[in-house]
Structures are given as C-alpha cells and as structure tokens.
Amino acid sequence: MNIPQHIVLFPDGNRRWAKNKGKKPFDGHLAGYKNLLKFGEWCKKKGVKVLTAFGFSTENWKRSDQEVKYLMKLFEIGLLQSLKKFKKDNVKVKIIGQKEKLPKSLQRVIKKIESETANHKDLHLNLAVSYGGKWDILQAVKKIIEEKVPAENINEEMFDQYLSTAGLVKPDLIIRAGGEMRLSNFVLWQAAYSELYFSPKLWPDFNEKDLDLAIEEFDLRQRRFGK
C-alpha cells in the first residue's frame, strides 16, 4: 500500500461533539487533544513520517476570552504531560505559527518541548497554534524582503524554505474530520497537490479504522501532478 509520508489533519468538531453529548465545549477540546495523541501513534505505526495538525488558527483569537484561555492552558499542560511519551516514542515536536502571540508560559513550554525532542526521528509532529496559511505566506515574503533576496533568485523551491514547514516533504494527504469540506486557511501553499479526504465523523469519534479508510482511499488515487 502507498502510505502518505506527510499527513495534514483538521481535528474538527470538538465543540459539536461535546454539545451532542450534553457536555461543555471544554470537554470536547480535551477529548480532541487526547484523540490527537492517539492519531499520532496510529500514523507512526503505519509508517507516516510527518503529521501536521491544526490546533488553533489565526482566526480562533476571535473566540471568547474564556475559551481562548482554556485552549492556551490545554496546550501548555497537554504538551508538558506528553513530553515523556514523545521521548519514549521518538517523536519530534515543533509548534508552527505566531509563537510571539502566545502566553509567555506557553512559549517557555514550547521551547522546552522543541529542544528536548529535536533529535527524534520516528515521527515529526507539527502542531499549528495561532497559524494561518495566509500568515505563513506573508511571513515568508517578509523574510525574503528583509534578506534582500534578488528577484531573479526567487522560485518555488526557494520559497518553500521560508515557510513554517521548511525542510519537510509536502503534504500527501489532508484529512478533515467533522463533515466540513474546505481548507479553512491552512497550509495553503503546501497543499497545492495534496489529496483531500473528508470524514463526516466529529473528531473525538474518529478512530484508527477511519484513518485506515483514508489511507486506503489515498492508495487508490492516481497522483499526476498536472502531467
């Protein structure tokens, strides 16, 4: 079977899942985070090398202060509690997005996690926090301008190296749970030739069999890249 080397994940539907079960939205976010950790294990077991997961978008800052604070604390506590497992499973963790906008305590945790997992090889986990596809493109453009790169030297391959995902293979498969069918301003440049897979399942209900179905569908597709 043709296994995607880089999977992008939209873990969508946490709040709807909680509402359907008569729970608080925060319970849905917690269940979603726990399922993301499981998803990483499944990917690693199947031979996936890179997983990029949407955690918090640039647009999510518009949510209530209470929800934003909860999510920031969830990232902070969740990452710290998961560090031992990341080390055990040889997972490299990187946070992509506007790190400078995050709470200082979370920034410190991110530095610790990234430093202590930097040499791990079995799975590269990108967690997108305060990330947006348009932001990623704009920050790349700004860096290129700051470095005064001559226009004749700018091409797609060079531009790739200024994005948050620099050095990684491009996404092969994008999986979105929750029934929505759009990219929602995520990895816009990187997704140019990615295969898209949409699942009606709300994220906390998404299981390993659902991942198998997505990979089986990916295996059946013919990727021509415009040829």
**Residue 63 is assigned to a ligand binding site:** yes
Structure tokens at 83: 């560090």
**Residue 58 is assigned to a ligand binding site:** yes
**Residue 61 is assigned to a ligand binding site:** yes
Sheet with 123-131: list strands edge to edge: 91-96, 123-131, 50-57, 6-10, 173-176, 195-198
Residues tagged active-site = 12, 60
**Residue 221 is assigned to a ligand binding site:** no
Structure tokens at 174: 């994008």
**Residue 57 is assigned to a ligand binding site:** yes
**Residue 203 is assigned to a ligand binding site:** no
**Residue 82 is assigned to a ligand binding site:** no
List strand residue ranges (DSSP E) for the chain, in order.
6-10, 50-57, 91-96, 123-131, 173-176, 195-198
Distance CA 206, CA 98 (A): 28
Residue 119 vs residues 7, 131, 169: alpha-carbon distances, Å = 20, 24, 18
Q: How many residues can be counted in the chain?
A: 227
CB 5 within 8 A of CB 51: no
**Residue 100 is assigned to a ligand binding site:** no
Neighbours of 19 (CB within 10 A): 15
**Residue 160 is assigned to a ligand binding site:** no
Closest CA to 163 of 137, 125, 131: 137
Distance CA 67, CA 64 (A): 5
**Residue 164 is assigned to a ligand binding site:** no
**Residue 212 is assigned to a ligand binding site:** no
Structure tokens at 15: 């709040």
**Residue 183 is assigned to a ligand binding site:** yes
**Residue 184 is assigned to a ligand binding site:** yes
Residues tagged in the binding site annotation? 12-17, 29, 57-59, 61, 63, 176, 182-184, 195
Residues tagged in the binding site annotation for Mg(2+)? 12, 195
Residues tagged in the binding site annotation for substrate? 13-17, 29, 57-59, 61, 63, 176, 182-184
